[in-house]
Amino acid sequence: MDPITLAITAALANLSQDLIRDAYTAFKAALQDKYGVNSELVEAVDKLEEKPESRARQALLQEEVAGSGAGQDPDLLQMANTLIEQLKELSAGKVDITQDVKIRGDRNIVTGQGDVTVNE
């Protein structure tokens, strides 16, 4: 998962915290300023806000981030990484992140830190 999608997804689970809510609001405003309020990227964020647990909406956001080039924007990446760092500090370094990763082929190595579950 790219840093922008990760930051948004993790922040949505922690909007009850003032620091996270303020950073998320500023990050979303930056996306709106750069891509427009009615852009597909911002609409994907809005849809994810409605159902943050939806893997389909998370995947849609990830697709829009990739398609828009937002994942290559240094300013947005810095804001996303700052938000991720704030989330880590909030929970003493423990942030629940769920990712669906499809891996094909033989002899693949998957690593993770903490509790990692691999479903075959």
Domain range annotation of the chain = 3-90
The verdict on pTM exceeding 0.85 is no
**Counting beta carbons within 10 angstroms of the beta carbon of residue 59, is it exposed (0 to 12), middle (13 to 18) or buried (19 or more)?**
middle
Please, which pLDDT band fits residue 114 given cuts at 50, 70 and 90?
low
Per-residue model confidence (pLDDT) at position 89:
84
Cα angle vertex 18, ends 114, 33, to 5°?
95
Please, which pLDDT band fits residue 111 given cuts at 50, 70 and 90?
low
Please, which pLDDT band fits residue 90 given cuts at 50, 70 and 90?
confident
6 with 80: CB under 8 angstroms? yes
Average pLDDT for 17-42: 96
